[in-house]
Amino acid sequence: MGTFFRILVVGMLATCSVAAQADVRVEVVYGGDETFVGIAKAGRMVEILKGGRYAPSDDKSAKGAGIRLWYWRDFNGFVFLDYARVRSVKVLGTLTAEETAELEKAMAKPVVRKARVTPPEPQPASRPATESRPAEIEPDPAEAPILKEFPPEEGWNLERPAEIQRRRIVLHIGPTTKELDFLAKFEAFKEAFEKAKPAKPSDR
C-alpha cells in the first residue's frame, strides 16, 4: 500500500510539473488602462533579471520583479512588464505543444526577399531603314491581378501569414474569409510581390 501511494504521488507530481512547463496565454492590465495579451513561456508568471538572465520567482513584490510577455502584437520577442505597475494578470488558457511549435515556427520564419538585378540594356543592332520590328511591351509587375486583389498598401505583405498565425494562437482570433483566401494564394502573391518590389541601389 505504501509503495502504491508513493508511486501515485510521484505520478501526480510529474503531471503537475509537465503542466507547469506549458506556455500559457496571459492578459495583463498595465499602468493605466493598457492591456497586453501574449504568451508566458513555460508558465513563468514572475521573473527577476539577475546577471543578465531572467530567473523565475514567486515574489511579485520583489525589486525588479516582472512578467515576460512573448509575441505581443507582431513582435517576435518579449516585453518585460514590471509588477510595480501591473494592475492584474489573467491566464486565458494553456497552449498545446503543437500550438507552441506552430507559433514559434511562424514568428521565427525569416522573410526572404530575392535581390532583383537589373540587366544592362542591350545595344540595338543596326538594321536596314526599311526593316521594322514591333515594340515589345512588358506588363508592369505592380499591375498583377493578385496584387490588386490583395493590395500591399492595405497591409497584405510577406509577414501577414505569421501575423495571422499569431492572432489565431495568442488572441484566439481566427482568420477572416479573405485571409484564408490570401493564405491559399500566398505563393502566387509572394512571386508577384517580389517582382513588383523596387530593387535597392545596393542590389544593383
pLDDT of residue 46: 95
Name 27's Cβ contacts closer than 8 Å, sequence gap at least 6.
35, 36, 37, 89, 90, 92
Residue 105 — φ and ψ, nearest 5°?
-65, -45
Are 171 and 104 found together in one domain?
yes
- pLDDT tens column, 29-85: 998 889 999 999 999 999 998 888 899 999 999 999 999 999 887 777 889 999 999
- pLDDT tens column, 148-180: 999 999 999 998 888 888 888 888 888 889 989
Residue 132 forms part of a structural domain:
no
Percentage of the chain with pLDDT > 70? Answer: 70
Are 75 and 106 found together in one domain?
no
Are 146 and 199 found together in one domain?
yes
Are 76 and 107 found together in one domain?
no
Residue 59 forms part of a structural domain:
yes
User: Can you give the residue range of the structural domain that contains 165?
Assistant: 96-117+140-204
Residue 172 forms part of a structural domain:
yes
Contact 44, 176 (CB under 8 A): no
Are 108 and 151 found together in one domain?
yes
Q: Which residue is it, cell 498595465?
A: 30
Q: Which residue is it, cell 507582431?
A: 74
pLDDT of residue 27: 95
DSSP string, 50-101: ETTEEEE-S-TTSTTEEEEEES-TT-SSEEEEETTSEEEEEEEEE--HHHHH
Tally of CB atoms within 10 A around 70: 19
Are 103 and 175 found together in one domain?
yes
Per-chain mean pLDDT for the chain: 76
- pLDDT tens column, 70-128: 988 777 788 999 999 999 999 999 999 999 999 888 887 654 443 333 344 545 544 54
Tally of CB atoms within 10 A around 177: 7
